[in-house]
Structure 1
């Protein structure tokens, strides 16, 4: 039995699945079916799997460069998923783990646990406390404004675009998404808009420039706030657009409630125990007959709420997604009347494809900005996330809701004039 054959048995045991890929060992030997090739560069990769069996150990080994996929990562992951019938790596039983340890010993791979990659999140404190939420947001969004400027379109929109034409660029599709939100909200000149989780300010800037509104945005990311404030000044919108560094639980506006409220892919960071508080804050911030547009990722009923060990450890710690129906229940419990739901899953697949294309074309620039380890995290994140949307394990929906007045009046138009 050569090294690769021993590795094939060990890795399959550590991940508790029948390994559907070919293995190439550090000594050049190979074993397994034809197809995607998992390249194990050192014994350290095995130690990571022994000490953290399942998805986390696999992710640590990839991020650290101890293992890789030969060829296109997306094609490789897609083929692995197909051949494994959707099985995800799980923690093996004690008996299988003991067998893995014996095999690792034969390969000379036993030893102390390697330190996790430096990019792994290490949050402390009570989950979804205000301090911890700031740390979780900073872990991902405060990476570098230059990094995101390199990846995203000119709007700096870090959410699903809305493609209305096969020939559209990403920027055109993000423009279409921002315009669609404004039309669904029924924005007109002089209205007041609140954007909860405003990111780098794409929506508040667009709504002020194109719909004449007075816009307020709040974010937990200091770098996002600073970037948005600079853009407000550059575009001569001071006094029309205000962006603050604030937790949604602390937000209180001294003036009257807003005419419209939006929250674009922020609700995933709220957490299950606080989602009712978040929905109530959105409702409280609106005038009677005011509209809400909530764009939010969702998951299948059997998918991990946080997206799995890799996402939870390296990308969005403490994230919580839920099936879309549960979100609707929260909104209705808060007092909203849900008027429209638009699924955008395919739009997200194409959005991520655009990001991947930019990332791969400019990979060396991303490495220069953030380092090889961060670049490997993002390569796995973008490819794996895009695959989750492609295969329907994750979705994204745009929900339109209204706050009826005391008599039940919603002041909503008949039909869907925003789609015309």
Structure 2
């Protein structure tokens, strides 16, 4: 009886939506208009009806990842349909404390959470990232720029903002597979230290340092940012795609640590995803819960104003802020396309469920950036010298010279 009621609810929802998709029930029955269907939702059992009867983007993503249903069609069409079906364009961001506490980010938990996402398989990430394996927003100086060129442009964009100079001491917090770390050493002549909690990343970067003849100039450490020694100090620091793992409760302490690591006059660039709405701590429609359970356990988003406030509260002076939101949407669509092109290899390396997780989370994130649900901010800040301005040029022309 319940199944019949849920089928009726699904039928009413599909017909009322007027959207070009069909739902294929486990018994072969079709619900919807098959003539112009851009997307087919295939349900494998009666239990799958619940996700379609009263859908949210999070519940649909869960059902897809768990194999309760298949989403067949172009992934852009799938996301657009899901948005309209769930009225997600009107979604309310998650607000309030929602239980975010400092104990969510102990060293042990953070290490486990990082390894859950990043220690999947170096070969898997190599299938769809650029040759440098840069797993963060690229910088497209022209719309038709290749992903490889746009990622190199991003690395240069960061190095220029930091005004890197030969023989400076440079720290990369959350160095990933070493793209920025190696680029800064080879192109700008810095002495570089990168830290990561990922075993796979540490192994890859260690191999790259030796292969490129950078031993003695570049070092990678398996280390929590809270444990980086403060003796000596660094001229420049970058944190790219890492502070989303810090946690709202630890944000102030994060910037205090960075301040302590910087030499007087030094600069730091913090590059990361933020909410589009002040006071929000994530996306609604079940998206944040899905991300927490399947993608980035322990990840938390804050607004750009929170970043500026925490940095300033630590004693750093904020010098420059740039929102690269449209660049990240474009970056993610490149990654999704490449992942789908290597779907069989990806499934072989990490299995069907993880393939579905990465496909739906990256496509969903691309859609979210395209529609302004999230933003990507680069915030540049500096440490004063005897109360005077950090060592930063009077004008920003040098950042864009030659572009």
Tell me the SS of whatever aligns to 1:218.
Answer: strand
Identify the match of residue 150 of structure 2 among 157, 165, 173: 173
What is the CA-CA distance between 1:414 and the residue it aligns to?
Answer: 2.0
Structure 2 distance, partners of 1:348, 1:73, is 17
Structure 1 distance, partners of 2:363, 2:198, is 25
Sort the Cα spacing of 1:82 and 1:60 in 2 relative to 1 into closer, same or farther, 3 A: closer
Asked if 1 retains the 8 angstrom alpha-carbon contact of 2:57 and 2:88, the reply is: no
Deviates more, 1:346-355 or 1:35-44: 35-44
Identify the match of residue 296 of structure 2 among 316, 320, 324: 316
State the structure with bigger RCO (CA 8 A, min sep 6), 1 or 2: 2
Sort the Cα spacing of 1:11 and 1:311 in 2 relative to 1 into closer, same or farther, 3 A: farther
Structure 2 distance, partners of 1:365, 1:81, is 30
* Structure 2 runs not aligned, ≥5 long: 94-101
What is the CA-CA distance between 1:8 and the residue it aligns to?
Answer: 5.3
What is the CA-CA distance between 1:57 and the residue it aligns to?
Answer: 4.3
Q: Does 1:209 align with 2:186?
A: yes
Structure 1 distance, partners of 2:158, 2:79, is 34
Q: Does 1:285 align with 2:269?
A: no
Alignment partner, residue 275 of structure 1: 251
State the aligned residue count.
381
Compute the TM-score of the two structures, normalised by the length of structure 1.
Answer: 0.84
Asked if 1 retains the 8 angstrom alpha-carbon contact of 2:197 and 2:224, the reply is: yes
Structure 2 distance, partners of 1:410, 1:281, is 17
Alignment partner, residue 41 of structure 1: 44
Q: Does 1:77 align with 2:83?
A: no
Q: Does 1:61 align with 2:33?
A: no
What is the CA-CA distance between 1:194 and the residue it aligns to?
Answer: 0.5
Alignment partner, residue 359 of structure 1: 339
Tell me the SS of whatever aligns to 1:26.
Answer: coil
Q: How does 1:82-93 map to 2 (within 5 A)?
A: 82=84, 84=87, 86-87=89-90
Per-residue Cα deviation, 1:339-373 (whole angstroms, up to 9, x for no partner): 11111111111111111111111111111111111
Identify the match of residue 135 of structure 1 among 112, 120, 124: 112
Q: Does 1:164 align with 2:141?
A: yes
Q: How does 1:19-418 map to 2 (within 5 A)?
A: 22-32=22-32, 35=37, 36-46=39-49, 57-82=59-84, 84=87, 86-87=89-90, 126-254=103-231, 256-301=232-277, 304-305=281-282, 308-416=288-396, 417-418=398-399
What is the CA-CA distance between 1:76 and the residue it aligns to?
Answer: 2.0
Structure 1 distance, partners of 2:299, 2:316, is 24
Sort the Cα spacing of 1:12 and 1:332 in 2 relative to 1 into closer, same or farther, 3 A: farther
Tell me the SS of whatever aligns to 2:271.
Answer: strand
What is the CA-CA distance between 1:68 and the residue it aligns to?
Answer: 1.9
Structure 2 distance, partners of 1:159, 1:305, is 19
Structure 2 distance, partners of 1:69, 1:8, is 21
Structure 2 distance, partners of 1:282, 1:144, is 30
Structure 1 distance, partners of 2:259, 2:59, is 42
Q: CA RMSD in A?
A: 2.8
Structure 2 distance, partners of 1:140, 1:385, is 16
What is the CA-CA distance between 1:30 and the residue it aligns to?
Answer: 2.7
Tell me the SS of whatever aligns to 1:194.
Answer: strand
Asked if 2 retains the 8 angstrom alpha-carbon contact of 1:349 and 1:390, the reply is: yes
Sort the Cα spacing of 1:64 and 1:217 in 2 relative to 1 into closer, same or farther, 3 A: same
What is the CA-CA distance between 1:290 and the residue it aligns to?
Answer: 0.7
What is the CA-CA distance between 1:208 and the residue it aligns to?
Answer: 0.6
Alignment partner, residue 95 of structure 1: none
Per-residue Cα deviation, 1:212-264 (whole angstroms, up to 9, x for no partner): 1100011111111111011000000000001101111111144x111100000
* Structure 1 runs not aligned, ≥5 long: 91-124
